[in-house]
Amino acid sequence: MSFLTFGVSVQCKNKEHDNQDKFGSVTVKSPSGKEVLVAAVADGVSMCFKGEIASYNAVRYVLNWAAVYFSTNEFNVAEIPNEFDKLITNINQNLNHHSSLKNKKQQLDGYSPYSSTTLSCVITDGDKILYFNIGDSSIYELKHYSTTNIMSKSNHVTASGHLVSFVGGIDADSLDIRYIESEFDNSAVYFLCTDGMNNQIDFNIDSDEFRKFNQRLLSADTRTNGITVLKGMVEYVLSKDEHDDITALVVKGKQI
């Protein structure tokens, strides 16, 4: 099976810091010749040392791991979580090591001396799909007449909005990694986004403001068309006075 992916990332409205969101995807042929897609979205934590470094490296590590792992291993939902746990632990350790070497500045009150990021991923072979999330980004499954919030920030954010789950700046045994396994739906859109996107859009199929975007994403059949839809969503979010970085990545089956 072939996949179509497209994404956008826009710097925060007031440009007070570099864009700390990163995204990417890679398709790898397994030894049997089956395509496996891995897509990732990361949101660097602003109240830490260079969140853009954490998000960039988290996505880079995930995609590099995918290129190596699936070139020699088949997609297996029973084995991937264990390998992914090892990967996230390694990313966490490397981010912490980088911060200890590079960050020599005195931190302001409330700021972390570590480089930290959220991370959301989907891994699929077109039959099964694995969702992974750590932090306050979200993953949605969008259909013509329904939307499902697969992974949300509710488990990783306190009632006061404090982020308690992330990669970097945390002990390995404290990493709170969540997985969900499901069937891949070739007629659906899988939508990964940072909180800058989902803060301002009601992902409810009964919401007029979202339904028009939902239908356009479902009908997008090229990367160019898909990016045009995502840019429209970004403009809408900015019109609602969102001040965070805004990033979204779409995964869908390519219609032959």
Residue 201 pLDDT level (bands cut at 50, 70, 90):
confident
- Can you give the pLDDT at residue 153? 59
- Can you give the pLDDT at residue 160? 53
* 120 phi, psi to nearest 5 deg: -125, 140
Residue span of the structural domain in which 7 resides: 3-253
Asked if pLDDT for residue 69 goes beyond 70, the answer is yes
pLDDT, tens digit (0-9, with 9 covering 90-100), for 160-174: 556 667 887 777 777
Query: Do 147 and 203 form a contact (C-beta atoms < 8 A)?
Result: yes
Residue linked to tokens 């891949």: 184
Q: Give me 223's structure tokens.
A: 């990367």
Query: Mean pLDDT highest for which of 46-50, 175-179, 224-228, 245-249?
Result: 224-228
Residue 113 pLDDT level (bands cut at 50, 70, 90):
low
Asked if pLDDT for residue 249 goes beyond 90, the answer is yes
- Can you give the pLDDT at residue 156? 59
- Can you give the pLDDT at residue 252? 96
How many domains does the chain fold into?
1
- The CATH number for 154's domain is 3.60.40.10
Q: Give me 142's structure tokens.
A: 């969008």
Query: Mean pLDDT highest for which of 24-28, 112-116, 130-134, 151-155?
Result: 24-28
60 alpha carbon, distance to own chain's centre: 12
Nearest to 143 by CA among 224, 205, 201, 194: 205
- Can you give the pLDDT at residue 45? 79
Residue 111 pLDDT level (bands cut at 50, 70, 90):
low
- Can you give the pLDDT at residue 196? 86
Question: Across the chain, what does the average pLDDT equal?
Answer: 86
Q: Quote the CA–CA distance of 169 and 181 in Å, as a whole number.
A: 28
Question: Who has greater pLDDT, 166 or 234?
Answer: 234
DSSP per residue over 207-243, as a string? -HHHHHHHHHHHH--SHHHHHHHHHHHHHHHHHTT--
Give the burial string for 12-40 (b: 16+ CB within 10 Å, else e). beeeeeebbbbbbbbebebeeeebbbbbb
Asked if pLDDT for residue 75 goes beyond 60, the answer is yes
pLDDT, tens digit (0-9, with 9 covering 90-100), for 76-100: 999 999 999 999 999 888 887 766 6
Residue 41 pLDDT level (bands cut at 50, 70, 90):
very high
Question: Who has greater pLDDT, 9 or 113?
Answer: 9
Nearest to 8 by CA among 231, 181, 251, 218: 231
The DSSP code for 49 is T
**What is the arithmetic mean of pLDDT over 6-27?**
84
Asked if pLDDT for residue 151 goes beyond 80, the answer is no
- Can you give the pLDDT at residue 137? 86
Residue 14 pLDDT level (bands cut at 50, 70, 90):
low
Q: Quote the CA–CA distance of 59 and 39 in Å, as a whole number.
A: 9
